[in-house]
Amino acid sequence: MQNALLVALGGAIGAVLRWSVESISPTSSISSATLSINLIGSFCLGALMAGFSLGHASKETVHLLGIGLLGSFTTMSAYALQTVEISNSSGFTSMAIYVVLTSLGCPLMALSGWKLMSVFT
């Protein structure tokens, strides 16, 4: 139960941080706010998990900051970390397959969901 509360607290903070950054950022043809959030968040999650693997961060810290805060702050940090983990454990080919399937599959699934809902509305 404690871990769930840590994730929830971190998630609430991360979601508000993301909203705040996007609210104050100027709009442009590319979302510089989202790009910045994803780059910074991916770096922070990588550093946090390295700290955890070296014994410098606790599991509770990972739940609060990694899963909770950074998970809700970014859209890419978990994907980036999983990509690195796949590369480390299964090699470049597995990582490349994961990247291609995720990079193409997720937008195609989002488009499919959008089109399906458009049919029903």
Residue with tokens 């940090």: 77
Token representation of residue 98: 């994961």
pLDDT over 70, % of the chain:
97
pLDDT, mean of residues 106-119? 88
pTM of the model: 0.74
DSSP string, 44-95: HHHHHHHHHHTTSS-HHHIIIIIIIIIHHH-SSHHHHHHHHHHHHHH-HHHH
**pLDDT, tens digit, for every residue of 55-87?**
999 999 999 999 999 999 998 878 888 899 999
| Domain assignments of the chain as residue spans, ordered by start | 2-77, 91-121
Under 8 Å between Cβ of 34 and 19: no
Under 8 Å between Cβ of 17 and 73: yes
- What is the reported pLDDT for 28? 67
Distance between CA atoms of residues 89 and 23, nearest Å: 39
